[in-house]
Chain A
Amino acid sequence: MFKFASLLMTPAAKYLLLAFAILFPFFATNEYQVYVMASAFVWAIAVYGLNIITGFCGQLNLAHGGFFAIGAYTLGLLTADFGWSFWPAFLAALAMTAALGFLVGVVSLRLKEHYFAIFTLCVGFIIYLLIDKWEELTHGAIGVRDIAAPYGFGVVDFTETTPFYYLVLAFLVLAIWFMGRLSKSLLGRTFIAIRNGDELAQSLGINLMRNKILAFVLSTTYAGLAGALYAGMVRFIGPEEANINHTFDMITYLLVGGIGTIMGPLLGTVGIVWITQSLQFLEEYRMIIFGPLLVLLVIFFPRGIAGSFLTWMHHKSQALAPGKKRQESKVGTAQDREAQSNA
């Protein structure tokens, strides 16, 4: 069992996963399945963002869905109302979510613990309210239609599902790649130190505000990127995109997959999206299951699938390795000290 599991940790396994993702549209029985997978990938990108601020840095950001919506609306409005083409609008969406993330971060990240969560809960709501009520800008409840997709080339037409699937996959790979680099780096470790405790991090010479804001801006940019892709994919958005339920969904995906891990966001998002898809009748009662699921996870299984797997792997490898040495040396030192004090 352990042998097989350790195979999962090798780079080869990751390439295998990528190959599967690339070949997926050929396995899929219809276009709708490709669409579902593409949506799952889009949400996974957003959840990776959440993982940076909440998973690594330990700050529960309840406005995450709001930034997703801002990304979607920036792209949507620029292309539909102002005639921009996809990619410039895409970059603008990234810039917008990064900038707004910075502003919100500067104000909110000075807040400790629960205050930050409460504050971002309200920010998320303000975003929803503004999108819904500020009709001159956002079309209000009517939503934005005829959003542009990227220009195709040759036979590739991005208004079709499968080409867009590959576009999303490319960004997902990029997102995961960056997350991997971040988590092992000094910067990632800095974020984790902050999660362990503000005071401890400061005593290690870490500037709290600078790092928290950086983590926050990275996470909102991820969310905006996902939102922009979403807008380009479905080509019609409304205030619903800013509904707090999306944030709650993403928290569930992250928790199930494994908070603070590299593969967690992907596993959780794709897993749950597909499970709810195949159990369509559950769609109505999703939250009846998600709700208790969150509670049970947080009490019994807080590290999620990826986290628990990693811990299990570690313990197994320790048990199989000559770890007995540890026990002996401890006894040794105690005996030494006893000998010294008796002398």
Chain B
Amino acid sequence: MLKVEHLTKMFGGLAAVNDVSVTFETGKINAIIGPNGAGKSTFFNLISGLHQPTSGRILLDGVDVTTLPSDQVARLGVGRTFQTTNLFEQATVLDNLIVGHRLRTRSGLWDVLINSKRLQREEKAARDKAMEALEFVGLSHVAGQFIADITQEERKRVAFALALATDPKIVLLDEPAAGVNPEETVGFAALMRKMVDEKGLTVCLIEHKMDMIMSLADKIMVLDHGEKIAEGTPEEIRNNPVVIEAYLGGDEDAAA
């Protein structure tokens, strides 16, 4: 449902992403892995519209979204999380999530002035959506806590909930399990499975935790120095000598 064709991004003379083509199928969990500096985050930024590609095309369900700015891409159904999420610390978890539904609403300044029916309707809808997203990630019990008072793992789940509240078709998760212990990582993996199974979402994630990727992903794409060097199922990737070399610098025996 997300088709990327010959995507290239140049920064000055350096190609951060170089002629990458890939298709991400609906309802699958797709992982993007690669050594540091491989261009994975840049790739996400290109898809979500934060950067404009130098060349290439991005098609979302057949619609060309290559040149669209980030907020329009979000409206078309691309949700994402970031490596660090800045939330309003001195507000409750629920309060933070209500804005997630904003992009589906149309109320403006006038509605605020006259407290229109539309505003009331949309605010209730946003609140409901926020609650629903919170329940989905299993955090209903902290709805009334300040962000400053919840744990790191819970914050990450709030970030998921925020992306979910935008009613996306596909979610891009940038290192969702970074800084989380193994037990919690399993929890996140289960959550991602749940997103696919219960909501029919397509999940795309960047991760470094191999165990998680191997057991979770339906398809893996490997980037190195901005180029796609491999693509396939976990089995195929695990045994792919090119991938092993990229990660370990040519020591084939180490992977055995």
Contacts and interface: CB of A to CB of B under 8 A. Distances in A.
A–B direct contact (CB < 8 Å):
yes
Interface of A: 178, 181-182, 185-190, 192-193, 195-197, 199-200, 202-208, 214, 218, 303, 307, 310-311, 314-315, 318, 325-326, 329, 333-334, 337-338, 341
A186 B123 contact: yes
B186 interface: yes
Interface stretch (B140-148, B213-221, B235-243): B140-148
A202 B71 contact: yes
A127 B111 CA distance: 33
15 contacts: A186-B102, A187-B109, A190-B99, A193-B99, A195-B88, A197-B86, A202-B49, A202-B69, A203-B82, A204-B99, A204-B100, A206-B102, A311-B146, A318-B144, A334-B183
Contact of A314 (B50, B86, B112, B146): B146
Given A186-B102, A310-B90, A329-B141, A203 B146 contact: no
B99 A333 contact: no
B85 A181 contact: no
A207 B149 CA distance: 30
B116 to A, nearest CB: 11
Contacts of A214: 109
Interface stretch (B24-32, B72-80, B195-203): B72-80
A58 B126 CA distance: 23
A203 B70 contact: yes
A193 B95 CA distance: 11
B50 A204 contact: no
Interface SS of chain A: helix, strand, loop or mixed? helix
A311 B145 CA distance: 11
A337 B149 CA distance: 24
Interface string B99-140: 110110101110111010001001100100000000000100
Interface of B: 48-50, 69-72, 74-75, 79-80, 82, 85-88, 90-92, 95, 98-100, 102-103, 105, 107-109, 111-113, 115, 119, 122-123, 126, 138, 141-142, 144-146, 149, 162-163, 166, 183, 186-187
B70 A181 contact: no
Given A199-B82, A200-B85, A310-B90, A205 B103 contact: yes
Given A193-B99, A196-B88, 6 more contacts: A189-B99, A199-B70, A202-B70, A204-B162, A205-B102, A207-B71
B69 A186 contact: no
Given A202-B50, A205-B74, A338-B183, A187 B107 contact: yes
Contacts of A200: 82, 85-86
A213 B138 CA distance: 37
B115 A181 contact: yes
B56 to A, nearest CB: 21
Contacts of B109: 187, 214, 218
A155 B186 CA distance: 76
Instruction: Please give me the 5 A-B residue pairs with the lowest Cβ-Cβ distance, nearest first.
Output: A205-B103, A202-B70, A205-B74, A189-B99, A197-B86
